[in-house]
Structures are given as C-alpha cells and as structure tokens.
Amino acid sequence: MKARVHITLKNGVLDPQGAAIRHALGTLGFDGVENVRQGKVIELDLAEGTTEATVNDMCEKLLANTVIESYSVELA
C-alpha cells in the first residue's frame, strides 16, 4: 500500500520560499502570479494492514510540524 502526505504551511505563517518562487517567476516574465505557497510531499510504501490512523500518527509525531504546518493523507 502507498500513502502520499501533502504538507503545507498553515495560513498566516510566513512562507519565504514561496515568496522567493513568486519573485523568480516574475523575473522570468510570469507576471500573473500573485502568491505562492510552497509545500512538500512525502510518499510512503507501507505494509499491508497499515491504517490511515497510523499514517496520521506518523504525521503528528514526525513528518509534519503541526504547530505551523497542515497535512493531508492520500492512500492508494
């Protein structure tokens, strides 16, 4: 089984990497971009029987900093 964890900064948390990306896009002539929020994706290969609750526990304890980040889990 596979899980994909999408991690993004919570609203209101400054995103300097997103700002740098937006600036670089403007420099390259892509002027229509008003805001960029940068995040990360973690892909996990899991043993059969691993539950979504277990993956959420992984996120809460290690994969995401839940003080400033939000996450969502996709199981496949």
Number of domains present in the structure of the chain: 1
Cα separation, 22 vs 29, in Å, equals 11
Q: What CATH number did the domain enclosing 41 receive?
A: 3.30.1280.10
The pLDDT, as a whole number, for residue 13 is: 97
The pLDDT, as a whole number, for residue 56 is: 97
Strand locations in the chain (E): 2-9, 39-45, 69-75
- Tell me the residue range of the domain where 9 lies: 2-75
Distances in whole angstroms, Cα of residue 16 to Cα of each of 19, 20, 23, 31, 57: 5, 6, 10, 18, 28
The pLDDT, as a whole number, for residue 26 is: 96
List, for the chain, all residue ranges whose pLDDT scores fall below the cut of 70: none
The pLDDT, as a whole number, for residue 54 is: 97
Tell me the pTM.
0.86
- Edge-to-edge strand order for the sheet containing 69-75? 39-45, 2-9, 69-75
The pLDDT, as a whole number, for residue 16 is: 97
